[in-house]
């Protein structure tokens, strides 16, 4: 447990840093914490800055979105939070700010996180970092803006409440968020399900060209640079492809990758529970959760697949 007020009451400059290529939970949790602290310190002189690579426009309805510092302006921070960040390299340009702060506080839910701060709260069982934060928020400082941001984070990291990481506590927190006045359906539709025509096209292409192997227990799909350029799409537009691969009947592990540079791929893995993909991602310098993890790997598409399948086989068919 962390007492957010005790940790911040003497601080004038507070920083909140999320991970590179921020997803819905990262954006939601960073902005939830900012909005909450601003409610706590309404009339007091404090600056709370969120540092993030520019998040997708779809999240612009969240309070504080326009004030995000994507330039990572160097300031001497009294307290700096790392939020939803599983390892120091995932802080990107925020690393220096975090390391030079007088006090650093790490709040996260990644099983691979060993604790990055002076104070650490890591709950691998939580659906999202937004959920972890919600357990620290006092009702008197909650409002619809904080609730919206927490809701967004939980929705995104749980696949709209679908994954096994949703516990009774997660649902109870979501239940309490329903007391605040905001359009939940619109958030789910507009930020999770809505796709542009081009996004749907690249999803369709990737599914069509996907390969099924290891007796149907593994599926893989990839997008190369040329295809991304052709559709004029970036990495953020590829969210959700790996989840569609995962629901293929019979599949234990789904692998999706896109080309970062020649012979370098960003890999996303999803498991249906039998394989711990965080363990595999960690072997290749990445991390994540048992059922959802990622890493960056070198080589051709087939090199990467071979290296990953060797590890998946070890878990699915352990030598007796
Ligand atoms: P995604 O596949 O959606 O990008 O990520 C799934 C999970 O794995 C997320 O929780 C994310 O934080 C984690 N993850 C993805 N890529 C990396 C990586 O390169 N390094 C680490 N440490 N974690 C990653
Ligand atoms: Mn998260």
If you ran DSSP here, which 8-state letter would residue 191 be given? Answer: I
> The domain at 4-193 falls in which architecture?
Alpha-Beta Complex (3.90)
* pLDDT value at 320 more than 80: no
* pLDDT value at 269 more than 80: yes
Using CA atoms, how far residue 195 sits from 61, 151, 308, in Å, is 17, 20, 29
* pLDDT value at 86 more than 70: yes
pLDDT for the residue 43:
86
How many other β-carbons are positioned within 10 Å of the β-carbon of residue 186?
10
Q: What is the pLDDT of residues 218-229, one digit of tens each?
A: 999 999 999 999
Residues with CB under 6 A from ligand 1: 86-87, 90, 110, 112, 268, 286-289, 292-296
The ranges of the chain annotated as CATH 3.90.1640.10 are 4-193
Residue 132 CA to ligand 2 center (angstroms) comes to 10
Distance CA 41, CA 64 (A): 15
CATH of domain 197-316: 3.10.310.30
| pTM recorded for the entire structure | 0.89
From the number of C-beta atoms within 10 Å of its C-beta (0-12, 13-18, 19+), residue 139 rates as: exposed
Distance CA 8, CA 167 (A): 29
- Segment 53-62 mean pLDDT: 96
Q: What is the pLDDT of residues 299-317, one digit of tens each?
A: 999 999 999 999 999 999 9
Q: What share of the chain is helix, strand, coil (3-state, %, to 5)?
A: 40, 20, 40
Find the helix or strand (DSSP H, E) in which 81 lies.
Answer: strand 79-83
Residue 7 CA to ligand 2 center (angstroms) comes to 22
Residue 293 CA to ligand 1 center (angstroms) comes to 5
pLDDT for the residue 1:
87
**If you count them, how many residues does the chain have?**
320
pLDDT for the residue 236:
87
- Segment 182-205 mean pLDDT: 97
CB 103 within 8 A of CB 119: yes
Name the closest-CA residue to atom 19, ligand 1.
Answer: 295
The ranges of the chain annotated as CATH 3.10.310.30 are 197-316
* pLDDT value at 115 more than 70: yes
């Amino acid at each position: 447990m962390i007492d957010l007020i005790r940790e911040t009451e003497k601080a004038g400059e507070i920083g909140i840093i999320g991970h590179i290529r921020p997803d819905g939970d990262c954006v939601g949790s960073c902005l939830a914490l900012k909005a909450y602290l601003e409610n706590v310190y309404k009339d007091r002189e404090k600056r709370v800055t969120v540092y993030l690579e520019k998040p997708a426009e779809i999240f612009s309805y969240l309070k504080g979105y326009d004030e995000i510092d994507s330039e990572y302006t160097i300031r001497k921070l009294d307290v700096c939070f790392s939020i939803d960040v599983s390892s120091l390299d995932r802080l990107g340009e925020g690393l220096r700010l975090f390391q030079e702060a007088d006090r650093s506080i790490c709040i996260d839910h990644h099983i691979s996180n060993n604790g990055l701060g002076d104070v650490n709260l890591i709950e691998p069982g939580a659906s999202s970092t937004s959920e972890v934060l919600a357990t620290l928020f006092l009702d008197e400082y909650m409002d619809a803006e904080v609730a919206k941001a927490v809701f967004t984070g939980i929705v995104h990291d749980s696949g709209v409440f679908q994954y096994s990481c949703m516990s009774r506590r997660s649902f109870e927190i979501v239940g309490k968020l329903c007391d605040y006045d905001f359009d939940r359906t619109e958030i789910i539709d507009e930020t999770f399900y809505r796709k542009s025509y081009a996004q749907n096209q690249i999803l369709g292409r990737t599914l069509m060209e996907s390969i099924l192997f290891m007796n149907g227990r593994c599926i893989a799909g990839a997008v190369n640079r040329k295809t991304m350029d052709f559709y004029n799409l970036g990495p953020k537009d590829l969210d959700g492809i790996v989840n569609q691969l995962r629901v293929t009947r019979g599949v234990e592990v789904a692998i999706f990758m896109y080309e970062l540079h020649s012979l370098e791929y960003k890999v996303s893995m999803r498991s249906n529970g039998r394989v711990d993909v965080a363990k595999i991602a960690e072997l290749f310098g990445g991390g994540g959760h048992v059922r959802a993890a990622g890493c960056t790997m070198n080589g051709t598409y087939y090199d990467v697949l071979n290296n990953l399948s060797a590890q998946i086989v070890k878990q699915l068919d352990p030598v007796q």
